[in-house]
Copies of this chain bind each other. A is one copy, B any other.
Amino acid sequence: MSKIKGGPQILSSVQNALRLLKSFSTFEPTKRVGELAESLGLAKSTVSRLLSTLASEGFVIKDEKTNAYRLGLSVLTLGGIITNDLEIHKEAAPVLYKLVNDTGETAHLAILDGLDTIYIHKEECNHPVRILTHLGRRNPSYCTSSGKVLLAFSEPKIVGKVIDGGLVKHMHNTITDPGQLQGELEIIREQGFAVSTEELTEGTRSVAAPIRDYTGQVVSAITVVGPIQRMTDHKINRIAKKVMEAGNEASERLGYDERYFKRLRS
């Protein structure tokens, strides 16, 4: 039991196992027993047992030579299932593909999960110079173009939480001032797209636009990322237009009727 007042019942060993899995990352794809014990605050013996169990079901793989553990293929299988399961995919995938062809840059579909954005789909460009991202990648919402789009069209409460959570300076262009963020979101609502230039990652620029479902709600964002050298100022408007068109097409495929909602608003 971890919560105090009779909340949902949590199994601590399972929780430990899940946290252990989550402690893997793109930057640290392998981990050892000792490290994990330390970072999770558990005894080595406990971690060892957790890993054996995880390994027996294929969630981690042990390198018998080095004793290092990495994520296992079960995880990949589950990832494939959820990908298939997400509705938006089926509709937005072809749009995304077209967008990559039109712009020559990698495109993503992103949604808000808590206060972060998550890439739920990725269509890679074939430029040799690429931006390193991956499916399922979690980024802070306030310093990515997709995140800003999603914030701009979500409840003010969410934006408040993001601000309360702290606007950490990841790069020289990161927005750290709450007022400035609010202003930016207002602009995004007006112009219908967001741009982010070196706010999270050095040398990258991204453009994003909203995707709406049949209720008119913004459910995800479509975004294009590339190195700033290719995403130049005078190309950015053309790209933004393409991204918005793609967003609109995806929205229509999800049953969004723009004219109906425009009439409502007026």
Contacts and interface: CB of A to CB of B under 8 A. Distances in A.
A75 interface: yes
Interface stretch (A135-143, A172-180, A184-192): A135-143
Contacts of A26: 80-81, 84-85
A85 B79 CA distance: 14
Given A49-B9, A82-B71, A126-B97, A137 B77 contact: yes
Given A81-B26, A82-B70, A136-B80, A50 B97 contact: no
A17 interface: yes
Nearest to A98: B126
Nearest to A116: B73
A82 B75 contact: yes
Interface stretch (A51-59, A160-168, A209-217, A257-265): A51-59
Interface string A1-32: 00000001111011101110110111001100
User: How extensive is the interface on chain A, given as a class?
Assistant: 35 or more
A129 interface: no
A126 B29 CA distance: 32
A213 to B, nearest CB: 16
Interface string A82-98: 11110000000110010
A24 B58 CA distance: 15
A35 interface: no
A182 interface: no
A245 interface: no
Contact of A78 (B49, B71, B97): B71
B15 A56 contact: yes
Interface string A53-72: 11111110000000000111
A118 B85 contact: no
B18 A120 contact: no
A48 B14 CA distance: 13
B94 A50 contact: no
A204 interface: no
A38 interface: no
Given A70-B85, A73-B118, 10 more contacts: A9-B49, A14-B50, A14-B54, A15-B57, A26-B85, A30-B85, A77-B118, A79-B79, A80-B135, A80-B136
